[in-house]
Amino acid sequence: MTVSKADRQRFSTITSKVRDRVPLDLEDGVFLYHYPDLLALGSLANEVREDRHGDKTFFNINFHINPTNVCVANCRFCSFARLEPGMPNAYTMSLEEIRGKLVERKDQPVTEIHIVSGLHHDQPFEWYLDTLRVLKKEKPSIHLKAFTAVEIHYFSEKYGMTYAEVLKALMEAGLGSMPGGGAEIFHPRARKKLCDDKATAEQWLEVHRTAHNLGLRTNCTMLYGTIETIEERVDHMLRLRALQDETGGFQTFIPLAFHPDGNAMAKLPGPTGVDDLRTYAVGRLMMNNIDHIKAYWVMIGIKTAQIAQSFGVDDIDGTVQEEKIYHMAGADTPQALTRNNLVRLIREAGRTAVERDTLYNVLWEDDGEKLPGTRVEHASMPFSSHKLPVLQ
Amino acid sequence: MTTLKLWAVQFLNARPLYAPLETMKPVGDDGEPLFEIHEALPSACAAALESGEADLALLPVGAYAQMPELEVVPELAIAARGAVETVVVIGHCPLEEATEILLDGASRTSVALLKVLLHAKGLSPALTPTPHGEGAPAVTGTTCALVIGDAAFGLGEQFPHVTDLSSAWFQLTGLPMVFAFWAAKPGVLTDAHVKALQAAKVRGLKFAEQHAQTYRRSVLAEGREALSTNAYANYLRKTIRFDFDSYEREGLVEFLTRAHACGAVTIPGLAEGDTVHVHFKGARYEVAEQARASTQPLNVETILAKGATGERLSFAEGLYLYDNADLFALGEAADARRQALHPEGVVTYIIDRNVNYTNVCTARCQFCNFYRPPGKEGGYVLSREVLAQKFRETEALGGVQILLQGGLNPELGIEWYEDFFRWTKANFDLRMHALSPTEIIHIAHLEDLPVREVLTRLRTAGLDSLPGGGAEMLHDDIRNRISPFKNSTDEWIEVMKVAHELGIKTTCTMVFGFQETAEHALVHMDRLRETQDLALSRGVDGTLPQGRFTAFIVWPFQAAGTSLRLRDDTSAWRYLRMQALARLYLDNIPNIQVSWPTLGPEIGEVALRFGANDFGSVMIEENVVSQAGAHFMLTAEQIEHHIRHAGFTPSRRNMQYDRLSA
């Protein structure tokens, strides 16, 4: 690694901007992405992270329900969606099945359910409302983080309602907040290639704007590692930052690493460790107005997630009890981390684990007590996409 | 310094271990004697330890089985590799035809050994306790007698059938039989005690003739017939082994395991599926003690700046960094050091194949998922046909080397390896990066040859270089806990030193995550650095000597599925820190390899910024860590992709770290 003097100076200028809380611009972000000294970049992101959160790393005990994988959209990076009902592996859950998912975990200290679906052709809007109602009825204290902006946009078109009408109805049925999925990459060049037939960047942002105005907190994401350029990644971050300046409704930015198995883009190599860490670090530095940066360990692996805590990440997506979307794309990570394993993972990296609820209220803070019976049973990382010719 | 109440057995074979203490009279720092010596029968020694009357005793293995919490003095035992002469079954018929065996005042150990052997042979004669001295005269027909101790000398000539139980044990297992060793109440032994006991043995063997003569006189004085002084001296010099190295440790655990399994002894607290564990007293490391005593004020920035420029770090400085340096600061210093050593921005990798020629292993390491004990189902030795196919495939994929490692298989003698290497060299154009020090030591034990001769013969046959496996944590506190039957730290280092002297290149490794402390890890690195200093001192006129460490590789222990009941406290974060620290501390080892097979290529990439300059091997095949839950496979193309992503230029190499054109 050789860093030119000019680059060192530029980095130092950016460091000063960061410390003076001056927002970074597109050129700054692109420069940081390419800056050869990974550790200097990480160190700067860590400074911001520690400034905001000290040694705290948040986690949340939740589980996922994906009520259907039938989907009208045909995103090239997706291995989850089955386009038509009746196609192999296509499914749609009954309300009883959905309720069953919660009943199975009734005794577990789950505080949140994360609900994301395909864009189903002909389920009535009532089915979505009932999904929320049935869960709320089963456990009134549960927080429902549900429906991406892409789904909200789809409901609005399909059922002839405004975004606000859709959201209000869902809120009445029990919606507590919205996940940040479906953002993918906003830039029209990449978006056209990736997912031409779903909500546009403007529509996605408008849904979140509406949600924020209705008092909903939401998250935001970025899918990286497909065909997008570094400029397009930074551009994406800037668009999110602009909306955040306007509404302040985003809680967390979650970069999502592309998984190349079982989808139309399986030939791409996928992002790698250094790319993951750079993305978190640049994300932390660009998003000066978003509180949290979250690593979703299901995608990048437990080990990279642990290191990411030093590259700007202050939140590790919690004990995911059931997860379908990424495992169909070949994620080779354990299906669920136990709470103790997660705490250990955080502790070993010199951080203090903090259990939060969806809205970042602190529920528990690690006091360093001994953790019995914990062991990462299968601590491998997602890499099944790169298979070697088998020699026997 | 405490004076320990030491109880010793009066038998001839025990005299060299304790008699010199009577003349040497070792004292501690405070001038107080280290030992107060009592002589007694074996059973009395055991009872004295049990009651607390003794602090330290020469304990028969049969008694030890009941008190596994005792601490065992390393390197000293009364053992035999083959016949022992003093534990025999005598009779007018072969052992196989005996209907009754009189147990002539026998010790628990010899009875347990007899039971183990009978169990293995499927025999069940009646076993009748008989007062000492009354067994041999009562032998008649199919009634035999077990006679032990000095009473057994010379019985061979009086009975047509004599079964030496130690010899039978060796035939059954291929392992030495350990009869007794020094064992102490936990916590009472100090380094001075251990050293004094070890010194006594050396002196005792030097004066074997005198012990023999004294003994002969005492026998004659009792009016009994005696053998020649020479016969007794030979017994002490050749028949009895007073060493207690890893080969004896293997024998000991095999015996305890079998004896427990067939009910000959009961080891308290040993649950089904547990492995037998022996607590050895760990060695002291002066460098660590000095560092602990040091009051020199330290500062992270100063130490890192030193390390980054390649200046030597002291043990205390290494410890200080381990405990206090920030991840990024450590990484930046290691990266600067890597950059200085390898300024071209190239990261190398090799195409080789990891061939595990056998999984049969006597070492029983608790952290291993791969081995099968001898005689158990699922053991294999790869045939020439299978090996040939693997080697051909390796060549076809552009491979230049075979990394050959396997279990400690008692069926494979040095000639098997010699034939194998000669055959490989005659048929393939592949370098043999083969046999870790653990396997070399095993072959040396098996053949009773010095390590130097084993290495010389194997190199002549075609071995090119030695992989640094089997090091785990080179600190006996840890080794005694996780792999007490495998080579000690000193044995491992010794193989590397001899290999370097012979001009053989080697690599070195470290596995962490055994609940070790900073001090354990630093002792490990310090021993490697010291060994490399010695190797490099052989370079003439500034040239590098042939024999040296070429690379260092560190990885976290893969706990899943192994019998080691450790919580998995290893992590990527610790790995990066450990590797960066190693880059700084091991100032004389040029290359550091990332361990992507255990951490995944993502962390592998990141690790290139934490001091590493090599991406290891394409690893066409690997069986050991994959049995413990790591499953990664990469092609050369993928490795190059990862290297580029981390900002480096990939280049293929061989084991010597010469670059190859792709």
* pLDDT at A377 (0 to 100): 30
Q: How far apart are CA B146 and CA B127, in angstroms?
A: 10
* pLDDT at A301 (0 to 100): 82
- What pLDDT digit, counting tens, does each position of A38-47 carry? 999 999 999 9
Q: Which two tokens stand for residue B580?
A: 């960066």
* pLDDT at A53 (0 to 100): 97
Q: Which two tokens stand for residue A282?
A: 């640049």
- What pLDDT digit, counting tens, does each position of A300-342 carry? 888 899 999 999 999 998 554 443 444 444 444 455 567 777 8
Share of chain B above pLDDT 90, in %: 52
How confident is the prediction for chain A on average, in pLDDT?
Answer: 85
Judge whether residue B628 has pLDDT over 80: no
Say how far residue B267 (Cα) sits from the centre of its chain. Answer: 23
Least confident of A140-154, B281-295, B351-365: B281-295
Instruction: Grade residue B104 by pLDDT with cuts at 50, 70 and 90.
Output: confident
Judge whether residue B295 has pLDDT over 90: no
Judged by a CB distance cut-off of 8 A, whether residue B390 touches chain A is yes
Q: How far apart are CA B578 and CA B518, in angstroms?
A: 10
Instruction: Specify the 3-state DSSP secondary structure of B146.
Output: strand
Residue B438 Cα, gap to closest chain A Cα (Å): 28
Instruction: Grade residue B120 by pLDDT with cuts at 50, 70 and 90.
Output: very high
CATH classification of the domain holding A312: 3.20.20.70
Q: Answer yes or no: do A273 and B567 touch at CB < 8 A.
A: no
Judge whether residue A272 has pLDDT over 90: no
Judge whether residue A387 has pLDDT over 70: no
B327 neighbourhood in chain A, CB within 8 Å: 310, 350
Judged by a CB distance cut-off of 8 A, whether residue A332 touches chain B is yes
Pairing label, strands A292-295, A250-257: parallel
B635 neighbourhood in chain A, CB within 8 Å: 386, 388
Judged by a CB distance cut-off of 8 A, whether residue A50 touches chain B is no
Q: Answer yes or no: do B573 and A344 touch at CB < 8 A.
A: no
Instruction: Specify the 3-state DSSP secondary structure of B423.
Output: helix
Judged by a CB distance cut-off of 8 A, whether residue A347 touches chain B is no
- What pLDDT digit, counting tens, does each position of A67-85 carry? 988 888 877 777 667 677 7
- CA angle at residue B15 from B12 to B18, to 5 degrees? 160
Q: Answer yes or no: do A39 and B609 touch at CB < 8 A.
A: yes
DSSP letters, B68-79, are TTSEEEEEEEEE
Instruction: Grade residue B65 by pLDDT with cuts at 50, 70 and 90.
Output: confident
* pLDDT at A108 (0 to 100): 77
A276 neighbourhood in chain B, CB within 8 Å: 602
Q: Answer yes or no: do A272 and B576 touch at CB < 8 A.
A: no
Q: How far apart are CA B341 and CA B363, in angstroms?
A: 38
DSSP character at residue B516? -
B572 neighbourhood in chain A, CB within 8 Å: 302-304, 306-307
Least confident of A87-91, A165-169, A259-263, B497-501: A259-263
Instruction: Grade residue A392 by pLDDT with cuts at 50, 70 and 90.
Output: very low
A98: alpha, beta or left? (left if phi > 0; alpha if psi -120 to 50) = alpha
Query: What residue in A sits closest to B572 (Cα-Cα)?
Result: A303
B335 neighbourhood in chain A, CB within 8 Å: 1, 39
Q: Answer yes or no: do A274 and B567 touch at CB < 8 A.
A: no
Mean pLDDT of the region B169-187? 90
Instruction: Grade residue B560 by pLDDT with cuts at 50, 70 and 90.
Output: low
**Nearest CB neighbour to B602, from listed A276, A350, A375:** A276
In sequence order, the β-bridge partners of residue A65 are A115
Q: Answer yes or no: do B635 and A386 touch at CB < 8 A.
A: yes
A390 neighbourhood in chain B, CB within 8 Å: none
In sequence order, the β-bridge partners of residue A221 are A254
- Residue A375 located in a structural domain: no
Q: Find, among B16, B9, B11, B4, the residue nearest to B201 by Cα.
A: B16
Pairing label, strands B126-130, B4-9: unpaired
Contact B606, A306 (CB under 8 A): no
Whether the CA torsion B177, B181, B184, B190 is positive or negative: it is negative
Judge whether residue B186 has pLDDT over 50: yes
- Residue A134 located in a structural domain: yes
The 3-class secondary structure across chain A, one letter per residue, is: CCCCHHHHHHHHHHHHHHHCCCCCCHHHHHHHHHCCCHHHHHHHHHHHHHHHHCCEEEECCEEEECCECECCCCCCCCCCCECCCCCCCCCECCHHHHHHHHHHCCCCCCCEEEECCCCCCCCCHHHHHHHHHHHHHHCCCCEEEECCHHHHHHHHHHHCCCHHHHHHHHHHHCEEEECCCCCCCCCHHHHHHHHCCCCCHHHHHHHHHHHHHCCCEEEEEEEECCCCCHHHHHHHHHHHHHHHHHHCCEEEEEEEECCCCCCCCCCCCCCCHHHHHHHHHHHHHHCCCCCEEEECHHHHCHHHHHHHCCCCCCEECCCCCCCCHHHHCCCCCCCCCCHHHHHHHHHHCCCEEEEECCCCCEEEECCCCCCCCCCCCCCCCCCCCCCCCCCC
* pLDDT at A322 (0 to 100): 41
Q: Answer yes or no: do B328 and A39 touch at CB < 8 A.
A: yes
* pLDDT at A50 (0 to 100): 96
Judge whether residue B434 has pLDDT over 90: yes
- Cβ burial A270-287 (10 Å sphere, 16+ → b, else e): bbbbbbbbbbbbbbbbbb
* pLDDT at A271 (0 to 100): 65
The 3-class secondary structure across B78-104, one letter per residue, is: EEECCCCCCEEEEECCCHHHCCEEEEE
Judged by a CB distance cut-off of 8 A, whether residue A369 touches chain B is no
- Residue A276 located in a structural domain: yes
- Residue A371 located in a structural domain: no
Instruction: Grade residue B106 by pLDDT with cuts at 50, 70 and 90.
Output: low
B605 neighbourhood in chain A, CB within 8 Å: 272-274
Residue A253 Cα, gap to closest chain B Cα (Å): 22
| Interface test mutation site (partner A, options B342, B392, B571, max chain A beta carbons within 10 A) | B571
Q: How far apart are CA B360 and CA B370, in angstroms?
A: 9
Q: Answer yes or no: do B571 and A306 touch at CB < 8 A.
A: yes
- Residue B574 phi/psi, 5-degree rounding, is -65, -35
Q: Answer yes or no: do B600 and A273 touch at CB < 8 A.
A: yes
The 3-class secondary structure across B605-634, one letter per residue, is: HHHCCCCCCEEEECCCCCCCHHHHCCCCCC
A376 neighbourhood in chain B, CB within 8 Å: 559-560, 568
Judge whether residue B533 has pLDDT over 60: yes
B219 vs A333: which has the higher pLDDT:
B219
Least confident of B62-76, B197-211, B450-464, B540-554: B62-76
Contact B211, B456 (CB under 8 A): no
In sequence order, the β-bridge partners of residue A252 are A219, A292
Least confident of A150-164, A236-250, B133-147, B517-531: B133-147
Q: CATH 3.20.20.70 occupies which residues in chain B?
A: 288-305+312-660
* pLDDT at A135 (0 to 100): 96
B632 neighbourhood in chain A, CB within 8 Å: 380-381, 383
Q: Which two tokens stand for residue B43?
A: 């059973």
Q: How far apart are CA A251 and CA A253, in angstroms?
A: 7
Q: Answer yes or no: do A303 and B560 touch at CB < 8 A.
A: no
Q: Answer yes or no: do B571 and A348 touch at CB < 8 A.
A: yes
In sequence order, the β-bridge partners of residue B549 are B506
Judged by a CB distance cut-off of 8 A, whether residue B599 touches chain A is yes
Q: Answer yes or no: do A377 and B629 touch at CB < 8 A.
A: yes
B620 vs A368: which has the higher pLDDT:
A368
* pLDDT at A342 (0 to 100): 83
Least confident of A161-175, B228-242, B329-343: B228-242
- Residue A384 located in a structural domain: no
Mean pLDDT of the region B103-114? 86
Judge whether residue B273 has pLDDT over 90: no
The terminus-to-terminus CA distance of chain A in angstroms comes to 40
| Interface test mutation site (partner B, options A38, A306, A332, max chain B beta carbons within 10 A) | A38
Residue A106 Cα, gap to closest chain B Cα (Å): 28
Q: Find, among B315, B313, B391, the residue nearest to B352 by Cα.
A: B391
Q: How far apart are CA A243 and CA A180, in angstroms?
A: 13
Judge whether residue B441 has pLDDT over 80: yes
Say how far residue B347 (Cα) sits from the centre of its chain. Answer: 34
- What Rg, from alpha-carbon coordinates, does chain B have? 27
Domain of residue A132: give its range: 5-361
How confident is the prediction for chain B on average, in pLDDT?
Answer: 88
Judged by a CB distance cut-off of 8 A, whether residue A242 touches chain B is no
DSSP letters, B104-121, are ES--HHHHHHHHHHHHHH
* pLDDT at B74 (0 to 100): 82
**Nearest CB neighbour to B629, from listed A274, A374, A379:** A379
Q: Which two tokens stand for residue B425?
A: 């060299």
| Interface test mutation site (partner B, options A381, A384, A390, A392, max chain B beta carbons within 10 A) | A381
Asked if the ipTM is above 0.95, the reply is no
Q: Answer yes or no: do A310 and B327 touch at CB < 8 A.
A: yes
Residue A186: other Cβ atoms inside 10 A: 22
**HSE of B611, CA atoms in CB hemisphere, 13 A:** 33
Q: CATH 3.40.190.10 occupies which residues in chain B?
A: 4-77+180-280, 87-173
Instruction: Specify the 3-state DSSP secondary structure of B404.
Output: strand
* pLDDT at A263 (0 to 100): 60
Judge whether residue A121 has pLDDT over 90: no
Contact A151, A119 (CB under 8 A): yes
- Cβ burial B430-461 (10 Å sphere, 16+ → b, else e): bbbbbbbbbbbbbbbbbeeeebeebbebbbeb
Q: Answer yes or no: do A381 and B602 touch at CB < 8 A.
A: yes
Model confidence, pTM = 0.80
Q: How far apart are CA B190 and CA B1, in angstroms?
A: 8
A to B CB pairs, distance under 8 Å: 135
A49: alpha, beta or left? (left if phi > 0; alpha if psi -120 to 50) = alpha
Judged by a CB distance cut-off of 8 A, whether residue B638 touches chain A is yes
DSSP character at residue B515? S
Q: How far apart are CA A212 and CA B446, in angstroms?
A: 76
Max avg pLDDT among A278-292, B103-117, B138-152: A278-292
Q: How far apart are CA B286 and CA B280, in angstroms?
A: 19
Pairing label, strands B71-80, B241-244: antiparallel
Residue B96: other Cβ atoms inside 10 A: 12
- What pLDDT digit, counting tens, does each position of B562-600 carry? 555 555 545 899 999 999 999 999 999 999 999 988 888
Q: How far apart are CA B30 and CA A381, in angstroms?
A: 57
Least confident of A326-340, B342-356, B465-479: A326-340
DSSP character at residue B658? -
**Strand runs labelled E in B167-282:** 177-184, 241-244, 279-280
Judged by a CB distance cut-off of 8 A, whether residue A57 touches chain B is no
Q: Which two tokens stand for residue A72?
A: 């009208």
Instruction: Grade residue A373 by pLDDT with cuts at 50, 70 and 90.
Output: very low
Mean pLDDT of the region A142-162? 95
- Residue A374 located in a structural domain: no
In sequence order, the β-bridge partners of residue B181 are B59, B77
**Nearest CB neighbour to B569, from listed A2, A43, A348:** A348
Q: Answer yes or no: do A274 and B645 touch at CB < 8 A.
A: yes
- Residue A392 located in a structural domain: no
CATH of B4-77+180-280, one of 3.60.15.10, 3.40.190.10, 3.30.420.10, 3.40.1440.60: 3.40.190.10
Q: Answer yes or no: do A1 and B606 touch at CB < 8 A.
A: no
* pLDDT at A14 (0 to 100): 98
- Residue A376 located in a structural domain: no
Q: Find, among B498, B499, B500, B477, the residue nearest to B489 by Cα.
A: B477
**HSE of B188, CA atoms in CB hemisphere, 13 A:** 22
Q: What CATH architecture applies to the domain B288-305+312-660?
A: Alpha-Beta Barrel (3.20)
Judge whether residue B531 has pLDDT over 90: yes
- Residue B603 phi/psi, 5-degree rounding, is -70, -30
**HSE of B152, CA atoms in CB hemisphere, 13 A:** 27
Contact B206, B23 (CB under 8 A): no
Total count of domains within chain A: 1
Which residues, other chains included, contact A27 with Cβ-Cβ below 8 Å and sequence gap of 6+? none
Judge whether residue A382 has pLDDT over 60: no
Give CATH for domain B87-173: 3.40.190.10
Judged by a CB distance cut-off of 8 A, whether residue A300 touches chain B is yes
Judge whether residue A1 has pLDDT over 60: no
Q: Find, among B570, B337, B604, B342, the residue nearest to A274 by Cα.
A: B604
**Nearest CB neighbour to A307, from listed B393, B603, B634:** B603
Q: Find, among A344, A350, A348, A353, the residue nearest to A375 by Cα.
A: A344
Contact B181, B78 (CB under 8 A): yes
